[in-house]
Amino acid sequence: MISHHSLDIKQNNLLYGPGKRAVLFTQGCGLKCPGCNNQHLWKREEGKPLYTRQITELCADSDIDGITLHGGEPTEQAEELLPAVKEIKDMGKNVILFTGRKVEQLATPAQRELADISDIVKYGPYIEAEQDLYLHFRGSKNQKVCINPKGALKNYEIQDGTNTVLLTVNEDGSITVNGMPDAEMYKLLEEYTQGNS
């Protein structure tokens, strides 16, 4: 069973990849990068259980182009994720993996296989001192994006130069933020929160 925070359908190329995608935020990360935008995803025990079939059933929809594995740290649950990812690949869908690990830090066979079968992998920890909000799929300059030359997204182009932030106003008035807001955006969010409390 996979510990997760959310599994949703999203469509935002600069944050999650091309097309309409299943976006899985896994719960649990032992890396704990200082300044991490997703600190609420660090404790695995705070996650909700998710079964492989729930992921594959969502991805079986013909409108879904692929899945993006985010976190937390998806490679910490590589053994649990692999069966779903393999089935999704067999459906002809693509896979994008976000990991805070460097290639050489993928220690288990399951972690390496998960990276190997992904079409795009973002590698490396977030380093606050190297933050750059205008990097596609990355939050800091040390991070690397590797496109599998044999993968379904081999012609995908990384588009640095913009900062994309997705804001969702929830039914209770709270805001969910995806992406890395700049100082001005944080100020606006703070003003909104104070005005609606």
- For residue range 95-143, what is the model confidence (pLDDT) as tens digits? 999 999 999 999 999 999 999 999 999 999 999 999 999 999 999 999 9
Which stretches does DSSP call E strand in the chain? Answer: 2-10, 21-26, 48-50, 66-70, 94-98, 120-123, 144-147, 165-169, 175-179
**Nearest C-alpha neighbor of 142 from the set 127, 164, 161:** 127
Residues 26 and 41: their CA atoms lie apart, in Å, by 7
Tokens 């359908």 map to which residue?
9
Read off the pTM: 0.92
The amino acid at residue 52 is: T
State pLDDT tens for residues 19-62.
999 999 999 999 999 999 899 999 999 999 999 999 999 999 88
Other beta carbons within 10 Å of 76: 23
Question: No. of H helices and E strands in the chain?
Answer: 5, 9
State pLDDT tens for residues 60-82.
988 999 999 999 999 999 999 99
Which residues are CB-contacts of 158 (< 8 A; sequence separation ≥ 6)?
136, 137, 145, 147
- Structural domains of the chain sorted by starting position, each given as residue range(s) with its CATH number in brackets: 2-161 (3.20.20.70), 164-197 (no CATH)
What confidence score (pLDDT) does residue 190 get? 84
Residues 104 and 2: their CA atoms lie apart, in Å, by 24
